[in-house]
Structure 1
């Protein structure tokens, strides 16, 4: 369906598959020397680095039923599926009704424990990717090859991205690098500060040397700048020390140097032709035929659909999984009833299916309680497209609207090299793109920013981290439906700012210790 781009989701037959509960015993992707690979295939390096990118988009090398990690359901082990489960279902805007083992605990933000399979799958996915990057970096030292500096930088970025998610979700782990790859001794536990320092040093080292432009789906300097922005934006949560000024340095680079622009067509950002969007900074690529997955945007499209209450073909889907619905904590940002949503001039208010559904989520297990999100669809932005089982809509992992709202937040927090005038302009550009009314300077507050991030970015894997940064995730000052297992929400302890370390990880490496409260 898509043209003029690198097919990042290439499956390389040199891949080995293994469990990652032992963080140093992942089968390497490279079984031959680089010289042997290049002799047999000059494009081998490109194929191998593409396979590293695929770790963030696919579950395994042999179709939707294959998995790089041990999982009873291959789709559950996908990186994007884990991000949505841990970032959106645990927060205020989205809930799931399936009641799968472990998923109820996420969607109700209650009763988390070290045996929850979704924590293990996320940990294993990260510690599958990290050793693969380490092995690849070691092998790359053995021969000269085209574009060597950039390939190394991309690989280090992907490793840093995996570590960033360990920092955010678990707060600690082990620091496996290409320097200690393959050693027999169990690695010591590394603190959140130590992992933060490592990721920061890696990104600062590659930022000046990685290319400023790249093929679609590959990292470039501004993708690195976005990850640095995210790292510094959440630095106070991660390390206890705010780094607002540093975050502003890199978000300014993205905005002023990256060449991205807001997409005039908001719907296109979440449609099957979003590879043509000028707004997407870094996508996770999906394809409906050549790289099928139950874990990429198929999870978002099919999961929010049901043949019981919705026309599947309208959204390009052949299946509806009757699983996910938004809550009034999200669509309530646009109005207090379905009628108010329908009357809103904000295009984002129209991205919920209200027919046959109740505004209030009295029971998160009841499909008709809450509005399914139709933000993601598998049609083109003009509505054309044939229904298929798997989504071809790329996931906009980083996009410019996020950078604009980050800039505004930083300005409100007093970051150097930001102005309130620019902050207001960026917020209003995001709002008016969706036909929402512009705001005045007196309305530009941190409370508005967290609400605007919900209106613009929910179901894109940011919400839990945002709420934690705004001191709204734990405690009882901000409640949402089913927080703490209560229909109207109840207070939860600060322990829930981190997830428990999976029991399998501690069994594999006794140097790891459990997070408080678990």
Structure 2
């Protein structure tokens, strides 16, 4: 298994760069045939599938100091770390004070350019996972093995998930599949619509055949349905054509057939025992001993703590990195002062550290300006657990309350098969779970849903996409602290709805073109 992992890793890394540089001019995935491998180790396929999943959770195969992709700091190369950087720091809720190597550009939503290393790391991470899946699918095509149909479906899902993020973040790329594996000429640029159509076709093909139940951390029908719902709910942004009805079809499947339920304990969803939560549909796994990473929830937990103002052990950490704070774009939705947050009955309002910190973020580089989020922690939900260096808290990539709020949004937008009465029920289920007051039908507007998604889902890697879908990200109709590089916030160009294609990708493939404005 160790040998086959190393072969897979080396060739997949080569495949990632050739997809951008020399276009998938790779060798076969293994030195052994899959039949020979299975004969010597019947669990080999399961092990390889787990390795594919780990590309979304870990940085590399050999501990926190290893990376699948070229990165000066391996911890920075993680998928989840990139999602937080690009989705949350660029939006209204979260800010980072380090400012190193391009973080200032993200946290101020200004001066984006093609040389920012965080754009490169996200692009490279996606185009590491994609050819790795292609290599594996090509090998699987020549052998019979247990649970073949489901393994292939899971692999195609993971590839589609990587492409979904390319669609959302960059809006274009190259379409590398097992069909053009080994092509020696640079691949042509694929437009956002072409990539959308490909991801849609892949997900529709695997949705009927992937298992309806799966072990924790693995994809199943309802994980695929969530990705389809997210693809369709953002379709107007991605293609120019709304697909609200289609989004409703799949989000209803998750709600009505998936068997998930809201966790009665909101804090448990973000604690080290969240593997027992009935709400999590699809997690990115973390473990403090055997799957250590500086890029999974360790980045969120440790990055939001500081020994200067906070008791690290209370949150199960030995290290505080003094980096991330929420802004009033998030905690301001619960009140206009620390006292308001303290007086709120809403559990979510209590998940900010206010002692020693200022409500206003006059200087995003100043640690005490803004309230650190204590939503994620490395203790169990009852507060137990000894402090450790790496987080054991899984990241709830998809969860049921998101599906409930998506349904409500779709009902307001008039999606077929939805009702405002069900939407109100779902929203109030989300709110009352956290001891927030129930709302009435007249309160149920798109603006309310956007705010409720912030109260419920911020720091979960989707805020930028939400703001774009609600037409609040660019322009000046909605301003938040440090938007556009000013303390009070300022208007930004519509070009910021996409990130620039990294310079390294443009240099590698002359068929790629830069996004407008960069």
Q: Report TM bin, short chain.
A: over 0.9
- Structure 1 segments, 4+ long, off by >6 Å, are none
Q: What displacement does 1:449 show?
A: 0.0
1:81 match: 81
1:12 match: 5
Q: What are the ranges of 5 or more consecutive residues in structure 1 without an aligned counterpart?
A: 1-10
- Asked if structure 2 preserves the Cα contact closer than 8 Å seen for 1:30 and 1:136, the reply is no
Q: CA RMSD in A?
A: 1.2
- Asked if structure 2 preserves the Cα contact closer than 8 Å seen for 1:16 and 1:27, the reply is no
Any idea what SS the aligned residue of 2:38 has?
Answer: helix
Distance 2:489 2:248 in 1: 35
Q: What displacement does 1:29 show?
A: 5.5
1:317 match: 317
**Is 2:125 aligned against 1:132?**
no
**Is 2:159 aligned against 1:162?**
no
Provide Cα deviations, 1:363-397, integer angstroms capped at 9, x if missing partner. 00000000000000000000000000000000000
Q: What displacement does 1:28 show?
A: 6.9
Q: What displacement does 1:15 show?
A: 3.4
Distance 2:368 2:330 in 1: 16
Q: What displacement does 1:39 show?
A: 1.6
- Asked if structure 1 preserves the Cα contact closer than 8 Å seen for 2:212 and 2:220, the reply is yes
Between Structure 1 and Structure 2, how many residues are aligned?
509
What is the TM-score normalised by the length of structure 1?
A: 0.97
Any idea what SS the aligned residue of 2:100 has?
Answer: coil
1:6 match: none
1:255 match: 255
Any idea what SS the aligned residue of 1:16 has?
Answer: helix
Distance 1:27 1:304 in 2: 43
1:337 match: 337
Distance 2:508 2:273 in 1: 43
Distance 1:107 1:452 in 2: 22
2:214 match: 214
2:277 match: 277
| Match runs of 1:351-430 below 5 Å | 351-430=351-430
Distance 1:182 1:124 in 2: 19
Distance 1:22 1:403 in 2: 37
Q: 1:150 to 1:324 in 2, by over 3 A?
A: same
Provide Cα deviations, 1:54-84, integer angstroms capped at 9, x if missing partner. 0000000000000000000001000000000
What is the TM-score normalised by the length of structure 2?
A: 0.97
| Match runs of 1:415-454 below 5 Å | 415-454=415-454
Distance 2:30 2:112 in 1: 37
Q: What displacement does 1:21 show?
A: 4.2
Q: What displacement does 1:445 show?
A: 0.5
- Asked if structure 1 preserves the Cα contact closer than 8 Å seen for 2:354 and 2:371, the reply is yes
Instruction: Please identify which structure carries the higher helix content.
Output: 2
**Is 2:227 aligned against 1:227?**
yes
Distance 1:335 1:165 in 2: 33
Any idea what SS the aligned residue of 1:250 has?
Answer: helix
Provide Cα deviations, 1:251-289, integer angstroms capped at 9, x if missing partner. 000000000000001000000000000000000000000
